[in-house]
Amino acid sequence: MNKSKLLFLTALLLTPLCGCSNGQSGSTPTDSKEYIGIVSAMDNEISLLLKEAKIEQTLTYGGVKYHAGTLNGKNVVICRSGIGKILAASTVEALIGHFEITKTLFTGIAGGIRDEQKVLDQVIATRVCQHDYGKLANDGFEWLAGDPGMGGTPGEYYPCDTKLVDLAYDSAVEVLGKEHVWKGTVASGDQFVASESYVDYLELTHDAYACDMESAAIAVVCQKYNKPFAILRALSDKADGHAHEAYQDFGDVAAENCNRIVLKMLESF
């Protein structure tokens, strides 16, 4: 085999490993722009944003598609993590690792905790926690979220960026009206909560206003990399015995409300 043929075959074999076309798995961004990261767990939670955005490239890492482009004139990367803390954490870790992310907005639906709340109300998190992290013994569950050694110290709360919290709250009030917007703790765990007694526990133990399955994971990763973040949760249900029915009836509307608030926030960046 002559030298030219050998070089051609070598290049042909290496091509799948080094390409960077739109949508290619493992490729790298084609620019060095700064971006706002927008993350959700499910497709319906970012569908409006993707429709409104001008997507310039879509890259895939770990099976997750990262859509980079502009939205309301701002550079954004929009992605869907999947449900649960593990998928949320791995998605945000890759987002920050592959793009120059200045801040992260986590948008989507959650279950309401307070009696005075209504389905389709909005909760802007001031802090988040993992309500299901701790020690389970014969005498019950003990929350130890901030103690890696399980030694019995109190659990940990992760504060959201105060400037982003204020902007998210003001934007939500403008979109939905003040009577439909709340600020407070969002408690995360790897369960879909549909239990009145557990809702009472979350309010009593964590002073929670909403529960979901991802926010604490987003917070942990963003804090690890010193990236400001905001959590916007629209209530699709009240996390009670009727949660499944309410979620099916109002999930899409709640998710769209969250998207509208994100669009309003982007006007101020």
Which three-class secondary structure state does DSSP give residue 206? helix
Residue 41 has pLDDT above 60, yes or no: yes
Residue 22 has pLDDT above 60, yes or no: no
Query: Which comes out higher in pLDDT, residue 266 or 10?
Result: 266
Choose the catalytic residue: 43, 45, 116, 203.
45
pLDDT on residue 18:
35
Query: Which comes out higher in pLDDT, residue 14 or 190?
Result: 190
The CA distance from 74 to 146, in Å, is 36
pTM recorded for the entire structure: 0.85
pLDDT on residue 148:
57
Residue ranges in 81-239 assigned as alpha helix (H): 85-98, 162-176, 196-206, 215-224
Domain boundaries, the chain: 23-266
The CA distance from 103 to 219, in Å, is 11
Which three-class secondary structure state does DSSP give residue 4? helix
Tell me which CATH code domain 23-266 carries. Answer: 3.40.50.1580
Choose the catalytic residue: 121, 203, 214, 237.
237
- Work out the number of other CB atoms within 10 angstroms of the CB of residue 10: 10
Token output for 69: 């482009």
Q: What is the pLDDT of residues 201-212, one digit of tens each?
A: 999 999 999 999
Residue 112 has pLDDT above 60, yes or no: yes
Residue 14 has pLDDT above 50, yes or no: no
The CA distance from 130 to 157, in Å, is 8
Residue 81 has pLDDT above 90, yes or no: yes
50-54, 81-85, 190-194, 239-243, range with the lowest pLDDT: 239-243
Strands 100-112 and 229-237 turn out to be parallel
pLDDT on residue 27:
67
Burial (CB < 10 A; 0-12, 13-18, 19+), residue 204, is: exposed
45 catalytic, yes or no? yes
Query: Which comes out higher in pLDDT, residue 77 or 7?
Result: 77
pLDDT on residue 134:
84
Label residue 12 by pLDDT band (50, 70, 90).
very low
Label residue 19 by pLDDT band (50, 70, 90).
very low
pLDDT on residue 183:
97
Q: What is the pLDDT of residues 114-144, one digit of tens each?
A: 999 999 999 999 999 999 988 888 988 888 7
240 catalytic, yes or no? no
Strands 122-130 and 158-159 turn out to be antiparallel
High-pLDDT (> 90) share of the chain, %: 68
Neighbouring residues of 165: CB distance < 8 A, sequence distance ≥ 6 = 124, 125, 126, 183, 230
Question: Pick from 85, 89, 84: which is nearest to 104 by CA?
Answer: 89
Please state, rounded to an integer, the average pLDDT across all residues of the chain.
Answer: 85
Mean pLDDT for the stretch of residues 40-48: 92
CA distances from 118 to 49, 91, 169, 230 (A): 24, 31, 17, 22
The CA distance from 28 to 47, in Å, is 24
